[in-house]
Amino acid sequence: MRVLLVGSQRYPMYAPAWARGLRELGVEVTIWDWTDCLSSGLLGRLERRFFIGPGVARVKHELVCKAVESAPDIILLYALPAIDVSTVKVLAKKHWVSGYHNDDPFGAHSNAPGMRAWKRVLPFFHSHHVFRKKNLVEYQGCGVKRVKELHHFFLPWLHKKIRIPQDHKEQYGSELVFVGHAEPDARMGFLTALVGAGLPVSVYGGSKLWRKYLPARLRSELTPIRPVYGDDYVRTIVGAKICLAFFSRANRDDYTTRVFEIPAMGGFLMCERTPLMQEFYREDVEAAMFSSKEELVEKCGWYLQHDSERQQVATAGRKRCLEDGHDAVSRMRQWLQDMQGWMVGTDILGTGT
């Protein structure tokens, strides 16, 4: 099977991880980064925001050319906002066109230009996978006939349990850590409660959004906030006693990628309580969960004082995460099985529906 994977290569946990996972399963993958077609300077920034302009036109033209050149069986469009119906129809005449978006097209950002463009083309794909269950009905409501849920994953080649060198333990050792983006949602209240209770919290993430949304009363306690990537991220998680996971209200999430990454690295997961999380992990056996600021503060305080119990939960959570196959390769195996089930015996090329 040959796959043309069209997606930004900026974040290794997204489209690049799909490519590596599929390659490890023996799939021939051609990667094409559509963002290379966008203009530079001010024009390029406008194209990224509104998805109109000469660079966006180049994306559509070059995408069709790339499909002809690579002759794939499947074209996977990963969260591609620079797209229109006519381009998808052209691709669907000769290739199976599949889609995936890790953000919520029907959430708080549903009216953003890129999301509107994505929703317009949904029914013209042959199939889709979605990050969250609630999108299944919404995709079907747009006319999508083949759609399945595909949870995100951890990267087995990166998110591993490691030993931090002695000379780095002071740098990476922390009591409570949160790594993630800033949103004006419940996470700010949770962080405020932890700081107010005198619990030491370290926060890492994109500086721009944290400067925008972090309440003034927290700035002296939590800044400076910087992003951590790759091995730096792994050491940050492994070095923390408790790793926090908050779920995006804008994306209406009931889980997040970090609920797999943290246990896979042997970290202690403290996350918001949702029915899905209670399916993933046994509460207070494989992960700790909370539903209120008071419960979060109480549980963090207790687990910080009980090292043995905290380590038992972290060890059991890692075992469950690995055994249940929440890694990128296992997810891509599921994707392949779904695709083969849809494609085998189906004379669909040329319909685009």
User: Could you tell me if residue 289 is left (phi over 0), alpha (psi between -120 and 50 degrees) or otherwise beta?
Assistant: beta
Q: State which amino acid sits at residue 324.
A: D
**Which residue, among 159, 335, 144, 174, has the nearest Cα to 258 in the 3D structure?**
159
Q: How long, in residues, is the chain? A: 353
**Contact assessment for residue 205 and residue 179, using Cβ atoms and an 8 Å cutoff:** yes
Q: What's the confidence (pLDDT) of residue 353?
A: 41
Residue 331 neighbours by CB under 8 Å, 6+ apart: 21, 150, 151, 152, 153, 325
Per the listing, tokens 């599921």 go with 334
Q: What's the confidence (pLDDT) of residue 349?
A: 54
Per the listing, tokens 């944290």 go with 210
**Which residue, among 26, 302, 262, has the nearest Cα to 153 in the 3D structure?**
262
Peptide linkage before 224 cis (omega within 30 of 0): yes
**Which residue, among 237, 241, 238, has the nearest Cα to 310 in the 3D structure?**
241
Q: What's the confidence (pLDDT) of residue 188?
A: 96
Q: What's the confidence (pLDDT) of residue 351?
A: 41
Q: What's the confidence (pLDDT) of residue 19?
A: 98
Residue 60 neighbours by CB under 8 Å, 6+ apart: 82, 83, 84, 87
Q: What's the confidence (pLDDT) of residue 350?
A: 43
List per-block mean pLDDT (blocks of 10 residues) for the chain, which spans 353 residues.
96 96 98 97 96 97 97 97 97 97 96 96 98 98 97 98 82 93 95 96 94 92 92 96 97 97 98 98 98 98 98 98 98 97 73 41
Q: What's the confidence (pLDDT) of residue 169?
A: 75
d(CA 7, CA 123): 19
Domains of the chain in sequence order: 2-153+328-343 (3.40.50.2000), 166-323 (3.40.50.2000)
